[in-house]
Amino acid sequence: MEVTLPTQAEKRRVVEAMFDRIAPRYDRMNALISFGAHRRWKRAAVAGLAVTPGAVIVDLACGTGDLSEEITRVGGRALGVDVSAGMLREARLRTPAMELARGDGAALPFGSDTVDGIACGFALRNFVQIGPVFREMARVLRPGGRIALVEVDRPANALVRRAHGLYFERFVPWLGGMLSDRWAYSYLPSSAAYLPDAVTMRALLVDAGFEGIVKRRLMAGAAQLLTARKGPGG
């Protein structure tokens, strides 16, 4: 199914409505299409934050709350933020005690220099623009605070990239159509086009005031984990 990606002006509304629609079946589809690997990647992301007991960690674009659960498991205090009321409802059903707020990544409901870390799973390509979200992350983080961002990626090896392309661009939309929402699971591979290349992504993080940027490839490059800390100029 060909997907016309929403323009910048309509993106937030389209993305929010899409996640509201798929929220009830989101966890099941996530487990199926990543073969459960997304849980490993999320554990790796939270490990990258080096959470100390009681540290305040924002789970940005928290969805149904996987990262929040992992942050809590390692002793942190998770604050989940998401734009989709439907996803927040599912998070609340799963973990009633979860601290959740409805909000946009580009205007976080926290004061400046108030949080110790930020985790963000599979949401960069869904933001209307990535640069303002990185700047907002830097604003709310205390100096030295860390971020860990997990996102989809394209495998570097040509053969693996071809196999991955067939899976991600053909099978996943088909499965999504059978079990959830065809448009949403066709948007998923197409929305990777919103992601800047590695050099631009790094430049956006540096511009926002981050340093010590490390990119790790996960599962032969099917996903990426970016970690960094807020520098003195951030």
Ligand X SMILES: C[S@@+](CC[C@H](N)C(=O)[O-])C[C@H]1O[C@@H](n2cnc3c(N)ncnc32)[C@H](O)[C@@H]1O
- Establish if 72 lies at the interface with ligand X (CB under 6 A): no
CB of 154 to ligand X, least distance (A): 17
Of 61, 137, 141, 225, which one interacts with ligand X (CB under 6 A)? 61
Q: Which is nearer to ligand X, 15 or 49 (CB)?
A: 15
Per-position x/- string for 24-43, each x denoting binding to ligand X as judged by CB under 6 A, each - no binding:
------x-------------
Report if residue 127 touches ligand X, rule: CB under 6 A: yes
Q: Is residue 104 involved in binding ligand X (CB under 6 A)? A: yes
Report the chain's terminal Cα–Cα distance, integer Å: 42
Question: Is position 187 an interface residue for ligand X (rule: CB under 6 A)?
Answer: no
> Among residues 102 and 211, whose Cβ is nearest to ligand X?
102
Whether 8 contacts 128, CB under 8 Å: yes
Residue 45 binds to ligand X (criterion: CB under 6 A) = no
Taking CB under 6 A as the binding criterion, the range among 123-131, 141-149, 166-174, 209-217 that sits at the site for ligand X is 123-131
Q: Is residue 144 classed exposed, middle or buried when 0-12, 13-18 and 19+ CB atoms within 10 A define those classes?
A: middle
Among 49, 56, 122, 191, binds ligand X (CB under 6 A): 122
Token pair in block for residue 234? 């951030």
> CA torsion angle for 118, 122, 126, 129 (degrees, to 10)?
40
Establish if 123 lies at the interface with ligand X (CB under 6 A).
Answer: yes
With a CB cutoff of 8 Å and minimum separation 6, the contacts of 166 are none
* 155 touches ligand X (CB under 6 A): no
* Sites of contact with ligand X (CB under 6 A): 12, 15, 19, 30, 61-63, 66-67, 82-84, 87, 104-105, 121-123, 126-127
